[in-house]
Structure 1
Amino acid sequence: MNPSASGWINKHFSHLQHTVLDKKFNNKQYYLKLQETGFIYAHSTKTLTYTDTSPINFTLEELTKINLFDALAFVYFSEKKEATKKQFIEDTVEFYQLLENESIWKIKLSFFKAKPEDTLEKIIQHRIQINESYIQKNFSHLITNALLFVDVLAFKEYLTKQKHPKNYLIELESLITNVVILAFQKKTIKDKYENLVLKLLESSLRYHKIQPQPKKFEQLNFKNFTNHFETKYILDLASITIYSDEEIEKQEYAFIEKLGNQLGFTTTEVDKNITRMLQFLNAHKNEISYFNYSNSIQHFYKNTNRMVRVLIMRNKKRLLKEIFESKELVILLSKSTHKDLSESEKHKVKEQLLDICKTVPSLAIFILPGGSVLLPILIKFIPQLLPSAFNENRVEKN
């Protein structure tokens, strides 16, 4: 299943049914599992439907697509237990069509005329992207929409109350931005992260713009957000906000505790929630974009390295077949494993690899203008695919 190719929803759905929908999770269980994927924290590191898959098989963007689709399906089938896949897809497209009419960020609606599955795939692709180029200029690798779970909350509201979720979304986004700004105000030292995270937040908003003067905590209205998904999500966003500088001060913790109590959580529950967040961030901090943006060259290389590896592994069989049909390339690659190639030989390897890339559609990126920059990364991974006989110097691990 390739989430970047057309038709992935139909291929994915049976797996979703088996691994998630048939498990009959309640809301608390599902949210906890979704939290562990990183989707709640705006950085998906895995999915619930493909937990045993190698990390290289999906990109961040693809993991985010799967998690958004799965979360929408979970709330839908929790509400409509006897519904079919066809009804789910059609109702989800209708829901997004309603939202798009009210969004402050307009897109072309031509894809709403396609088949429901194709339409939903395009909608999800659009939804996971941020709205402005500002973030892309500040990060050299992919940033996905930081507030995607808001879609899930609005979908749940729409299904439960059967009315347009516009007012709900405006109120929810307003509350979220207020809470995040108030969390930042608890910091003793204001730093680069505040502006950065606020820009990321602002770029993810769809129905509300950040107001210059936030309300005081006592003025915030939480009474319309009482279900577990809503309260946990608001608490999680505030928690990750105060940790953006990688430490939690006394007054910041006091704010989170106060917020948690206001949302109906005990102090013990708040502590456990912070612990889960810290466990996730400590395990994945080096991958998360809003903690890593100072060294743009390093992150460009890391992201490109990952992208090339994904492309190679997905096209492994076809790539190896093409390589072995080129006798001269096989000889040069074999030689390169135990001896340095001359400049002319290196040039031949690059030329012949580019010719091979022309025959594998998914590798067309290498023959585009500037694609030659990726060739060293492609060449780096080729030896890992070849039989061990190619490398006389390889040390076998016990």
Structure 2
Amino acid sequence: MQINPSINGWIDKFLNQYGTAVSDYTTDASFFLSCQKSGLIYGYVVNYHLDSNLDDTKWDNEEKVKVGFLATLFALYKKNKDDDYQMFIEDLFQFYAVISKGNFSFLNMVLPHANSYQKLESIINERLQTNDNIVTKNFTHLVTNSMLYIDILAFEYYLNHNTIELDFFKNLERKCLALIMFSLNVKKHKSEYDIILLKMFENSLRYSKVSKVKSNEIIDVVFEGNRSELESLYLYEIAHMTLLSDGIVYDYEQVFLSDLVLKLSLNKNNQNIDYELVNFINKHKKSLPFYNLNHPVKQFYTNTQDNIAKLVSRNKTRLLKELSESKELVKLLGKSTQNELSFEEKKKVKKQLLDICKSIPSLTIFLLPGGGLLLPILIKFIPQLLPSAFNENLND
């Protein structure tokens, strides 16, 4: 019986046909290694924790992620609780019912009279749903799908404690964002792509924002509270992926990773976590969007930079007029080319720039969902294209 993950009933079919073939794991380390090999952690699924073959040749990437996500949840359930997939479905549904108390949209979309299988299909669809606006449609799904693993860790917590609070999601997301910032700070040669990538992660999170993690709190946030072994392994993987964004981990970065292993209380030699990430990248380099030569963030940045340059040039007269009426903004933008702005100064720049964009029809792209990600690119061009405005106001 052919499974189509885009048609109602696919969960029931998959578990009926492959439920008994989902692998058994006795340790967190073996489960995590299999998660690495499956690709779910990287948002690109290539296998499904199965002891038998599955024909997925007709599935697209999102359909593979759907099935990989479900199979990973069931493999975790088998390791922690039971191999009865009907009990698994009920417990998984209850898990999402508990976190739905925060009025998240995905449970509002399910059919009120559907069974647990059908409701879970709607929930999984929503968990994988991406932002399709013209600003973010080219890359957001990569980040969103890789952050699905937070649901795996939350389900583990729920199985071990029989309850879960939304703070678990918020805290873990803050840890991931803080660790990405921490890892980027280690890099001696940060590129503009690294900064944009950080913003992509921020844009994909459900419950947290990177602005809530202050620079002097980064280290404390990463290591605060109790962690399961799976969570520690995932945090390490986040750091390793961040450092590998340019395809290379330098010696001084490896020292940072080795220190992180100790701080997270991991036994690196036993888990062999470095090898599996590098091995997965090498094996799937041509297909893995995040690491191949046509890096979506780089493509997005390059293409968008060219488009914004044209927009700014075409609207130069209007921009100059608007900027001449906002000397505070011009001074702050000038200051940003020399020094780091404070949090409050950044908020002023963003607000005043968006106000200007509202008055220029061609720049309304910055008002769309996700458009705030483009503001750093816009800021980059203003000093170059409007030097007189800066010179006049900086000398006031």
Normalised by the length of structure 2, the TM-score is 0.66
Task: Report the AA paired with residue 193 of structure 2.
Answer: Y
Change (3 A) 1:218 1:241: closer
Q: How many angstroms apart in 2 are the aligned matches of 1:18 and 1:107?
A: 29
1:282 corresponding residue in structure 2: 282
Mapped contact 1:197–1:290 kept (Cα < 8 A): no
Q: CA deviation at 1:206?
A: 1.6
Q: How many angstroms apart in 2 are the aligned matches of 1:203 and 1:100?
A: 21
Change (3 A) 1:269 1:187: farther
| Aligned partner (choices 2, 5, 9) of residue 3 of structure 1 | 5
After superposition, residues 226-241 of structure 1 pair within 5 angstroms as 226-241=227-242
Task: Report the AA paired with residue 18 of structure 2.
Answer: L
Q: CA deviation at 1:213?
A: 2.5
Q: CA deviation at 1:119?
A: 0.7
After superposition, residues 201-220 of structure 1 pair within 5 angstroms as 201-211=201-211, 213-216=214-217, 218-220=219-221
Q: How many angstroms apart in 1 are the aligned matches of 2:280 and 2:135?
A: 23
Unaligned 5+ segments in structure 2 are: 301-396
Change (3 A) 1:134 1:235: farther
Matched residue SS, 1:287: coil
Mapped contact 1:135–1:200 kept (Cα < 8 A): no
Change (3 A) 1:97 1:190: same
Unaligned 5+ segments in structure 1 are: 297-398
Q: CA deviation at 1:257?
A: 1.3
Q: CA deviation at 1:107?
A: 4.3
Matched residue SS, 2:266: coil
Residues 1:106 and 2:105 are matched in the alignment: yes
1:93 corresponding residue in structure 2: 93
Residues 1:44 and 2:45 are matched in the alignment: yes
Change (3 A) 1:140 1:295: farther
Change (3 A) 1:134 1:190: farther
Task: Report the AA paired with residue 19 of structure 1.
Answer: A
Task: Report the AA paired with residue 8 of structure 2.
Answer: S
Q: CA deviation at 1:13?
A: 0.5
Q: CA deviation at 1:62?
A: 1.3
After superposition, residues 304-323 of structure 1 pair within 5 angstroms as none
Matched residue SS, 1:290: coil
Q: CA deviation at 1:187?
A: 1.3
Q: How many angstroms apart in 2 are the aligned matches of 1:141 and 1:259?
A: 28
Q: How many angstroms apart in 2 are the aligned matches of 1:6 and 1:45?
A: 22
Q: CA deviation at 1:231?
A: 1.0
1:77 corresponding residue in structure 2: 78
Q: How many angstroms apart in 1 are the aligned matches of 2:139 and 2:147?
A: 18
Mapped contact 1:102–1:207 kept (Cα < 8 A): no
Q: CA deviation at 1:174?
A: 1.0
Q: CA deviation at 1:225?
A: 4.1
Change (3 A) 1:203 1:135: farther
Mapped contact 2:154–2:168 kept (Cα < 8 A): yes
**Count of equivalent residues:** 292
After superposition, residues 21-170 of structure 1 pair within 5 angstroms as 23-49=24-50, 52-53=53-54, 56-81=57-82, 84-102=84-102, 106-107=105-106, 109-111=108-110, 113=112, 114-131=114-131, 133=133, 136-139=136-139, 144-170=144-170
Q: CA deviation at 1:261?
A: 0.9
Q: CA deviation at 1:124?
A: 0.5
After superposition, residues 185-200 of structure 1 pair within 5 angstroms as 185-200=185-200
Change (3 A) 1:50 1:199: farther
Change (3 A) 1:69 1:54: closer
- 1:169-208 per-position Cα deviation (integer Å, ceiling 9, x unaligned): 2111111110111101111122133134223322331221
Q: CA deviation at 1:100?
A: 3.2
Q: CA deviation at 1:99?
A: 2.1
1:17 corresponding residue in structure 2: 19
Mapped contact 1:145–1:204 kept (Cα < 8 A): no
Q: CA deviation at 1:243?
A: 0.3
Mapped contact 2:11–2:117 kept (Cα < 8 A): yes
Mapped contact 1:141–1:289 kept (Cα < 8 A): no
Q: How many angstroms apart in 2 are the aligned matches of 1:50 and 1:19?
A: 5
Mapped contact 1:225–1:231 kept (Cα < 8 A): no
RMSD between superposed Cα atoms in Å: 2.8
Q: CA deviation at 1:142?
A: 6.8
1:386 corresponding residue in structure 2: none
Q: How many angstroms apart in 1 are the aligned matches of 2:28 and 2:200?
A: 28
2:173 corresponding residue in structure 1: 173
Q: How many angstroms apart in 1 are the aligned matches of 2:284 and 2:4?
A: 24
Q: CA deviation at 1:251?
A: 2.8
Mapped contact 1:174–1:210 kept (Cα < 8 A): yes
Task: Report the AA paired with residue 175 of structure 1.
Answer: K
Change (3 A) 1:132 1:192: farther
Matched residue SS, 1:145: helix
Change (3 A) 1:210 1:142: closer
Change (3 A) 1:25 1:200: farther
Matched residue SS, 1:14: helix
Change (3 A) 1:295 1:184: closer
Change (3 A) 1:95 1:241: same
Task: Report the AA paired with residue 255 of structure 2.
Answer: A
